[in-house]
Amino acid sequence: MSYEWQIASRYLYAGSSERATVFGAVASLMIAAFGLAILVLTGGGSVVGVILFVLGLLSAAVFLLLAFMSVPTSVSVFGVSLGVAALTVVLSVTSGFQDQFREKVLGVNAHVIIMKSSTDFAEYREVMETARKIDPDVVAVQPFIFAEMLATTGKGRIAGVAVKGVDPQQVRGVLDLEKHMVEGSVAALATAPPEGALPPIIVGKELARKLRIKSGDTVTVVVPMSNVDLNTWRTTAAAPRTRRFEVAGIFYSGFEEYDRRLMYTSLAETQVLLDRGDKVMGVELKVKDVERASIIAGKLRKRLGEPPFQVQDWYELNQNLFMALTMQKIALLVVLTLIIAVATVNVISAMVMMVTQKKREIAMLKSMGAPSFELGWVFAIVGTAIGAVGTVIGIGLGVATCLVVRAYGYPLDPKVYLIDRLPISVHPLEVAMVAGVTMVLCVTAALIPALKAASLRPVEGLRDE
């Protein structure tokens, strides 16, 4: 090992092996282990376990740093660690929201939707055939009708709903609705009801709770404005069209907007209810790779023509939602990166203090012929090591916190956040990005005291000797 590394390691290892420090580290690790044990025994459902585990890890990191490094160096490392941990947790939460919204959206929606500017979409079979052949990645295609209606029960409950008519034979190939079913099955839509029986319908869990219905109950769907002449806006003598359905299943996507409004029934029943004949609202596709949905949508636009057709992929349909999440993520990334930047100021101050304390040693080494570059390199190694240790500890704290909180499943108000649990997704690429940004800042910060040490003249260090 060259003398620069030896001197740098000696400057870094300046801790205390006092019993209090060792006892604090051991006690903190025991607290973290106790919190982890509580989480394991409760299946991740204890907030006390989460708090004990996180606080135990934080205090253990502090005591371990004090056992190996001086107080100013330990403070610098811990500041970097907290910044890295905070950035890792926040990025994981924002990524979790993006992943969850994407999963929820794709769970009950198709990847590509083809619609027509007019209401006479009768040639949907030809469009479906074109869609199937447009790209090998197209997995399934189905026609659909989507309409705003009212649902009521004999219990005096009423709610505004969105009824989606789907092809019972193809819906499971296009939508992932089956995995969200908590009662019944999507296959019930494909089962022809016996003579005199009511047609089946599937409702969201929150909607079922609001209407106080369960599987096997009856619900009446009303088509509003169906008794109004849209040309004259006069009400006809007939009552609005209604149709009774039997609840054949209940789904729960975890996405409040869908769970409290959506209802699924067969395409034929929806056509009868709307009195539209053999016409649909659109055609939807499922593709093998969702990232290619926009490419396939572009091919369909060229083949079908816009207008009269309108082709949109899943991201375009929810662009405002995902754009808002992306902007929020960028804003949080910038703000929390500033926290790491502030932590690097502590690194600079600790390193400058170290250079000041070691002026005599620097002067003696220069008097013995040590080049200025090599002495500057000593402090660059120290600053880089502080950043590296802080980054490793911070990533460890951040990832551990993410895993524990994800296991706990922190509850959210779905009426505010649209989902009922705090989503956390740890992406290795984002963790690597945090580590890279932190190291760049710390290495840059180490250059200032390194240059100060390199420019120090021997006479300045030995003047008071």
Write the DSSP assignment of 335-346 as a string of letters.
HHHHHHHHHHHH
Q: Which of 284, 248, 241 is nearest to 265 (CA)?
A: 248
Domain boundary at 306, 330, 346, which?
306
Q: Which two tokens stand for residue 304?
A: 């079908």
| pLDDT on residue 237 | 47
Alpha-carbon gap, residue 91 to 333, rounded angstroms: 7
Q: Are residues 330 and 423 in the same domain?
A: yes
pTM metric for this prediction: 0.70
Q: Which two tokens stand for residue 9?
A: 């390691």
Q: Are residues 296 and 159 in the same domain?
A: yes
Neighbour tally for 244: CB within 10 Å: 11
Decide if 215 is inside a domain: yes
| pLDDT on residue 360 | 73
3-state helix, strand, coil in the chain (%, to 5): 60, 15, 25
Is residue 113 classed as helix, strand or coil in its secondary structure? strand
Q: Are residues 190 and 90 in the same domain?
A: no
Domain count, the chain: 2
Q: Are residues 203 and 297 in the same domain?
A: yes
| pLDDT on residue 343 | 77
Strands of 346-402 (E only): list them: none
Q: Are residues 337 and 198 in the same domain?
A: no
| pLDDT on residue 12 | 67
Domain that holds residue 423: 3-105+321-462
Alpha-carbon gap, residue 426 to 402, rounded angstroms: 7
| pLDDT on residue 137 | 86
Q: Are strands 262-266 and 158-166 parallel, antiparallel or unpaired?
A: parallel
Q: Are residues 286 and 325 in the same domain?
A: no
**Residue numbers in the chain where pLDDT is lower than 50:** 1, 230, 237
Q: Which two tokens stand for residue 450?
A: 């390194």
Q: Are residues 138 and 177 in the same domain?
A: yes
